[in-house]
Amino acid sequence: MTARPLRILACGDVEGKLDALYNRVRSIQKKSGDFDLLLCVGNFFGTTAEAESEWAEYKSGAKKAPIQTYTLGANNQETTKYFTDKDGCELAENITHLGRKGVFTGASGLQIAYLSGTEAHHEPAPAYCYTSKDIIALKSLLTASSKFKGVDILLTSQWPKGVWQYGNNLEGIDTKSCGSISVSHLAFALKPRYHFAALEGANYERLPYRNHVILQESAQHVSRFIALANLSNSSKKKYLYAFNIMPLCAMDPTELVKQPLDVTESPYRKMMKEFQKTKTEESATGENQFFFDLSKKEGKKRSSEGGRPSPHQSKQPRTIPQPTGPCWFCLASPEVEKHLVISIGTHCYIALAKGSLTPDHVLILPIGHHQSVVELPSEVIEEVQKYKLALKKFYKSIGKRFVMFERNYRSQHLQLQVVPVPIQSCTTEDIKEAFIVQAEEQRMELLEIPEHSDLKQIIQPGSAYFYVELDSGEKLLHRIKKHFPLQFGREVLASEAVLNMPDKANWRECKYSREDEEEFAKVFRNGFQPYDFSLLD
């Protein structure tokens, strides 16, 4: 199924007027059809008694948001009480707080970078502020890859300083006090196709600006900055913006870099050069050391000789990786659909796959946030192996073969897909051949690796790959270098040669009701119980 543009609404300061917001959204959707997301910047919560009373109805479930809503964090001390987890959490049904900073990547591949709060110039920073460290971390997270082209959307509550330069006229705003140069730096580095901000009570849709230097750099996509006013403002300034967007990762490169007739120069490029010069001079005199140095390249250098780091390299204890935004698979996340969970161990859990190929198609998942098998700590790997062995025994007892695959590409959380194949359908050799033949058809090299090999010995952490393990113990591996069909594993197993259900190759085409999913889980749980080691601990 080809990717489709997403229909998105962006909103300025809501200030707790949730009924007014969602009534307007309902009106728009009734007239124009459903939208996929509502993104809110600025002050989502209000400070009045009326606003608090209104929120209580949504929090209790008495009222429900008619659209999946994502909001930034607090911009003042008064509203910090509403955000129970600064790193993001579900606030009410269909209303999610993205967190302090990070990247949210949807199932479509749409990438949304976000930064909550207003800028603090001194440490320690209040809970409603961000610092230079947050800017550095967010920038490094995305731009470390040489393949980085930009993000689809950037959400900040504060405006970027100087965004109006080379652009259309800006009226009613004090440009001396408006905006943050930190946000300007972030926007310059992340090259968002759309950048939304609020807090100034104004609507300003800047002319699109280019992200490359003409005749010196290859053409890149343009960026659009849109500031939105506060909801229910007396001047009837625009506070809600509707748009369609095809994820950058799904776009034809030629279409992506097309330049509109009204495109301007970047408002930040000259400013960044001047700012860098000033910071370099200040650094030489030891002044203003709190702010970050734009000339520094973030990230660690890998020792050219391998092995242990030299005494000159920083020795930091290993930290547990954290998701950059709401994660659908971290067990503690509000995004997890708990009714799909089958078994919970100490480090891993099993859940039915959403849009499963068959009613007993499951996922083995780490409870904490880990991206791939090669990045798992030893204790997690041990439990993964125990779950694999238990599933093999269970499937064998019901006359089915164990087939497992992992795609470490455009995914944040490790998902080991385990799909049982009826023994009478085909042999293990047939399944192996199906993978190899389809890989060759798509000009991909799928290599057989030793049965007792450890992926960690073959693949470096951070590398993209596709991996298959069969019930015979045979293993197949493809190193992903450029592009990879996201549904490849399902396409092979759904093909005529294996399960013969080609119409189920895409998980989005396999929709079940919640009642069906609950029944599938109940049946699987009962059958798997004799093999579930977690029940014996």
Describe the strand order of the beta sheet including 465-470 as a list of residue ranges.
341-344, 348-352, 362-366, 416-422, 400-408, 465-470, 475-479, 447-449
pLDDT value, residue 410: 85
How many Å apart are CA 88 and CA 85, to the nearest integer? Answer: 6
How many Å apart are CA 38 and CA 24, to the nearest integer? Answer: 12
How many Å apart are CA 364 and CA 344, to the nearest integer? Answer: 10
Residues 6+ apart with CB under 8 A from 393: 531
Domain extents for the chain? Answer: 6-277, 338-535
pLDDT value, residue 201: 94
pLDDT value, residue 519: 94
Q: Give pLDDT tens digits for 341-367.
A: 999 999 999 999 988 999 999 999 999
Residue 243 pLDDT greater than 80, yes or no: yes
Higher pLDDT, 178 or 108: 178
Residues 6+ apart with CB under 8 A from 343: 349, 350, 387, 525, 528, 532, 534, 535
Higher pLDDT, 90 or 299: 90
- Pick the closest to residue 186 from 165, 167, 164, 160 (CA basis): 160
Confidence band (pLDDT; 50, 70, 90) for 303? Answer: very low
**Burial (Cβ within 10 Å: 0-12, 13-18, ≥19) of residue 217:** exposed
Buried b (16+ CB within 10 A) or exposed e, 395-406: beeeebbbbbbb
- Phi–psi pair at 53, nearest 5 degrees: -65, -40
Structural contact between residues 201 and 234, judged by C-beta atoms closer than 8 angstroms: no
Residue 288 pLDDT greater than 80, yes or no: no
What's the CA angle centered on 300, arms 299 and 301, to 5 degrees? 125
Q: Determine which of 200-214, 312-326, 514-528 has the lowest per-residue pLDDT on average.
A: 312-326
pLDDT above 90 covers a percentage of the chain that reads 67
How many Å apart are CA 202 and CA 119, to the nearest integer? Answer: 19
- The pair of structure tokens assigned to 385 is 């192996």
Q: Give pLDDT tens digits for 267-285.
A: 999 888 776 655 545 444 4
The DSSP result for 492-517, as a single string, is: HHHSTTTT--GGGSSGGG----HHHH
Count other C-beta atoms under 10 Å from residue 374's C-beta: 22
- The pair of structure tokens assigned to 151 is 């993000």
Taking each continuous run of H as one helix and of E as one strand, the counts in the chain are 11, 23
Mean pLDDT of 89-93: 90
Residue 114 pLDDT greater than 50, yes or no: yes
Fold for the domain defined by 338-535: HIT family, subunit A (3.30.428)
- Phi–psi pair at 347, nearest 5 degrees: -120, -15
Describe the strand order of the beta sheet including 89-92 as a list of residue ranges.
89-92, 95-97, 69-71, 37-40, 6-11, 240-245
Mean pLDDT of 218-231: 96
- Taking the domain 6-277, which CATH number applies? 3.60.21.10
Q: Write the single-letter amino acid at 274.
A: E
Average pLDDT, the chain: 87
pLDDT value, residue 2: 55
Q: Give pLDDT tens digits for 422-467.
A: 999 999 999 999 999 999 998 898 988 877 777 877 888 888 999 9
Residue 195 β-bridge partners: 154, 225
Mean pLDDT of 320-330: 62
How many Å apart are CA 421 and CA 499, to the nearest integer? Answer: 7
Mean pLDDT of 96-102: 92
Residue 323 pLDDT greater than 70, yes or no: no
Residue 329 pLDDT greater than 90, yes or no: no
Residue 405 pLDDT greater than 50, yes or no: yes
Residue 299 pLDDT greater than 50, yes or no: no
pTM: 0.56
- 3-state helix/strand/coil string of 257-315: CCCCCCCECCCCHHHHHHHHHHHHHHHHHCCCCCCCCCCCCCCCCCCCCCCCCCCCCCC
Number of residues written out for the chain: 537
Task: Report the run of H or E that residue 7 belongs to, with start and end.
Answer: strand 6-11
Q: Determine which of 4-13, 194-203, 369-378 has the lowest per-residue pLDDT on average.
A: 369-378
- Residue 381's SS3 state is helix
Sign of CA pseudo-dihedral 31, 37, 40, 45: positive
Confidence band (pLDDT; 50, 70, 90) for 101? Answer: very high
Q: What is the DSSP letter of 215?
A: T
